[in-house]
Amino acid sequence: MDKIRRWVQEGGTLITLKNASEWAIKQGIVKEKLLIPANGGWADTTATRAASTAPASEGKKTKETASASTPGSRRTDFVNQEHEGTRAIAGSIYRTDVDLTNPIAFGLTDRRLYVFRNGTTFLRPSRNPYATVAQYTATPLVSGYVSKANLKQISNSAAIVVSKVGAGRVVLFADDPNFRHYWHGTARLFTNALLLGPLLNLPEGPATISAEEE
């Protein structure tokens, strides 16, 4: 972890897809945020790394508390598993709005970008107004099935975020732009991130804080 963090800070470009983006956030490599189910609402996950490095006494207390309240610890009849499939995002198409002026969008001519999604990584738009390269629209579903709960979380969430880390940067994709090499419209974004990373030197910009974060 220290080697990766140092490499990025010295000017490297780290590109993460889906749950790898979650990993980068939970490890504290970037200061971006995830959305996760918690108490019927949504919570920030950036405290995960801090909890994992807490003193042993604190860590023990955290584990005991978590095990007592974890929904997965209850018994459920086998027949009820049929409902689990409705909570998955198994493959559907969504509309996003992409910043055409960002190097990652080089070559695109329309702000409307259709993406294929088959995962439950939900990225919160960055507090840096220049850092959210692509964002799901308020009514993003174009084709396929998605539960109402998942659609609510996808709406207005971030599809691509660039996070500045020292002299380098991390490009976080909520989805896999190269999925099975047939969704070519987003494969270009990955190529741009790979080749044009050094151009992604973001200004800090004024931080915008939502009422929820306050």
From 42-56, 80-94, 143-157, the region with the lowest mean pLDDT: 42-56
| Number of neighbouring beta carbons within 10 Å of residue 6 | 12
Closest CA to 163 of 131, 191, 117: 131
CB 99 within 8 A of CB 134: yes
- Of residues 53 and 170, more confidently modeled: 170
Q: Are strands 41-43 and 112-117 parallel, antiparallel or unpaired?
A: unpaired
pLDDT band for position 75 (cuts 50, 70, 90): confident
pLDDT in tens, 127-165: 999 999 999 999 999 999 998 988 999 999 999 999 999
Distance (Å, whole) CA 183 – CA 207:
34
pTM comes to 0.75
Distance (Å, whole) CA 6 – CA 46:
19
pLDDT in tens, 96-106: 999 999 999 99
Closest CA to 5 of 131, 194, 168: 168
pLDDT average, residue stretch 157-184: 92
Q: What ranges do the domains of the chain cover?
A: 2-37+91-199
CB 174 within 8 A of CB 122: yes
Closest CA to 105 of 175, 192, 194: 192
- Of residues 6 and 207, more confidently modeled: 6
* DSSP 8-state code for residue 181: G
Q: Which of 116-120, 157-161, 178-182 has the highest mean pLDDT?
A: 157-161
What fold characterizes domain 2-37+91-199?
Answer: Rossmann fold (3.40.50)
